[in-house]
Amino acid sequence: MANVIKIPAKVSLHKLFREISRELGFSDEDIDNYAMDVFELLDKWEQQGFVEVYENYSDRKVGRLKRSDLGKYAIPWYLELYRARISEKNDPLIVLRKDNEDQRGEYSFSVRFLITHDKMFGSLNEKNNEAILKKIKMTVDTLIKKGNY
């Protein structure tokens, strides 16, 4: 666990979570089916008062956050973005944005939407196509910005 960092945090569900998840192809039924997993994570983070952030695959665990700005072509679009698995399955992920830090050093994160790996990072066929990857990342960035207003 040496590669897992605990960040004091409050995490909330963004008001556009459902709307933006729909834009990414999730039906209301899909969103409702994943809601319990998302709310369980929100409750866990509230109870413990922190989120855990990992980098190494071996430290991956449901509910742990991973920075999304470390990958190829991630800057500037994925700055302050994190993702987390909501179950043992690979997809979907939830995308969180680190919004701000208070005077005590506690961060606020907002859960912005559900997304699949392919829609966030490209499919295996797209991973080496810089133009497609930039387009994917700009699309996600646009959705994040939509929630900033």
Q: What is the mean pLDDT of each run of 10 residues along the chain (149 residues)?
A: 87 97 98 98 98 94 94 82 95 95 89 97 91 93 88
0.85 cut: is pTM over it? Answer: yes
Residue 46 has phi, psi (to 5 degrees) of -65, -45
Cα–Cα distance between 61 and 63 in angstroms, integer? 6
**End-to-end CA, the chain:** 37
CA distance 144 to 113: 9
- pLDDT score of 65: 98
How far is Cα 65 from Cα 126, in angstroms, rounded to an integer? 24
Measured CA to CA, the distance from residue 75 to residue 55 in angstroms comes to 17
Nearest 5°: the CA angle 143, 70, 114 is: 35
CA dist 96 and 80 (Å) reads 8
**What confidence score (pLDDT) does residue 76 get?**
86
Query: For residue 75, what pLDDT is reported?
Result: 75
In this structure, what are the phi and psi dihedrals at residue 85, rounded to the nearest 5 degrees?
-80, 145
What pLDDT, on a 0 to 100 scale, did the predictor assign at position 87? 95
Strand (E) positions, the chain? Answer: 4-13, 50-54, 65-67, 81-85, 93-101, 107-115
Residue 53 belongs to domain spanning = 4-146
* Distant-in-sequence, close-in-space partners of 90: CB < 8 Å, separation ≥ 6: 117
3-state secondary structure of 128: coil
Question: 52 in helix, strand or coil?
Answer: strand
Domain count, the chain: 1
